[in-house]
Amino acid sequence: MNGLESVHIVEVGPRDGLQNEPRCLSVHQRVSLIQQLEATGLKEIECGSFVSNSKLPQMADTDKVMARLSLSQTCIYSALVPNQKAWSQAEGIEALQRIALFTSASELFCQHNIGCSLSESLKAFAVIIPLAKAKGLKIRVYLSCVWGCPYEGRVDINQSLALAATLLEMGCDQLSLADTIGIATQSQIKTVLTAFKSIDSEHIALHFHNSSGMAIANVMQCMDMGFVTFDSAIAGLGGCPFANALDSGNLATEDLVYLLHGLGIETGIDLKQLCSVGNSLCQLLHRSNASRLSLSLLNKSTLVI
């Protein structure tokens, strides 16, 4: 695979995954999940979102979750910081090494889902980014709807590219380009990433949803073009609020790791242990596992992974 030796996985299940679940986990359960995920060998975990408890109860007390974690030498802990108020909660968290901000390549998605215009979201970032940088934190920005928007349809690539360049100039270290509604195909991935060639691939992560079953194929396309950072969620949790199917969630970490190991790309992740964490989590959440690998292993206990 284009000489790739390593791939970096950003586990987003404890944030992007849990925030979409009808059942809320306790602080203790969320801390335990993060620790179990880290124990499998994952090197970056998005641990929560600093939102008001009433707005998103699934992410309530993210400050308490993160206060129970110690600064890790082997795993980067990050969290979503949606606004300045959130920053005031996040800034004192010792274990936090990276903050994630959220905006959209589509103006209408921004207005509907973040509750502000695109330019207002950038104004908020202009305040938060220097404060976070001054604390030595890395900055990730989610750029949603790069491959399409539920309100605007196709999104202009030049608009996404200009926004990406602005965010990097503002001090963003990593952009996570998201196929929020899970519609991208390999050729569309190629078109966008070719347009993004002026940006060093080390600043780019890819965030795929599996709504159309294209996530793994799209990862392959990205790796073929030299991109090595991918978001995924344990058990394929999370998802797009515009689709109802169980499989509309994030690319499952188990499936991504299975692909990488199959390609001979070492991740340092214990896949068997990872599947076990995903299965236990699904029991806790009373939901089905959306990892294709875990589903296929259910009745094949002799299969070695």
Closest CA to 252 of 228, 237, 266, 236: 236
Distance of closest approach, residue 250 Cβ to Mg ion, in angstroms: 5
CA distances from 63 to 17, 67, 87, 191 (A): 18, 6, 11, 40
Query: Judged by CB, which is closer to Mg ion: 33, or 297?
Result: 33
Residues marked active site are found at: 240
Collect all residues with Cβ–Cβ distance below 8 Å to 292 and sequence separation of at least 6: 236, 252, 255
Which residues in the 57-86 window bind Mg ion by CB under 5 A? none
CB of 266 to Mg ion, least distance (A): 26
Tell me: does residue 46 bind Mg ion (CB under 5 A): no
Residue 299 Cβ, how far from Mg ion at the closest point, in Å?
A: 29
Nearer to Mg ion, 181 or 297 (CB): 181
Give the span between the Cα atoms of 244 and 147, in whole angstroms.
19
Q: Number of residues interacting with Mg ion: please give it, by CB under 5 A.
A: 3
Please give the residues from 241 up to 260 whose contact with Mg ion meets the rule CB under 5 A: 250
Type of residue at 220: M
Q: Is 16 in the site for Mg ion (CB under 5 A)?
A: yes
Rounded least distance, CB 71 to Mg ion, Å: 26
Helix, strand, or coil here: 252? strand
Phi, psi of 46 (to 5 degrees): -85, 115
Amino acid making up residue 51? V
Q: How far apart are the first and last CA of the chain?
A: 21
Q: Would you say 176 or 297 has its CB closer to Mg ion?
A: 176
Could you tell me which stretch among 105-113, 186-194, 234-242, 284-292 binds Mg ion (CB under 5 A)? 234-242
Least Å distance, CB 144 to Mg ion, is: 8
Find residue 230's DSSP bridge partners. Answer: 9, 206
Return the number of the residue (255 or 297) whose C-beta is nearest Mg ion: 255
Binding segment toward Mg ion, per CB under 5 A, in 9-17, 19-27, 42-50, 254-262: 9-17
Give dist(CA 6, CA 8) in Å, integer: 7
Q: For tokens 């976070």, what's the residue?
A: 132
Output the smallest distance, CB 239 to Mg ion, in A: 7
How far is residue 180's CA from residue 104's CA, in Å, rounded to a whole number? 10
Segment interacting with Mg ion, rule: CB under 5 A, options 11-19, 102-110, 126-134, 263-271: 11-19
The stretch near Mg ion (CB under 5 A) out of 29-37, 42-50, 235-243, 289-297 is 235-243
- Which of 16, 44 has the CB closer to Mg ion? 16
Q: For residue 151, what are its two tokens?
A: 């309100």
- In angstroms and rounded to an integer, the radius of gyration of the C-alpha atoms of the chain is 18
Smaller CB separation from Mg ion, 148 or 297? 148
- In the complex, the residues that contact Mg ion under the rule CB under 5 A are 16, 238, 250
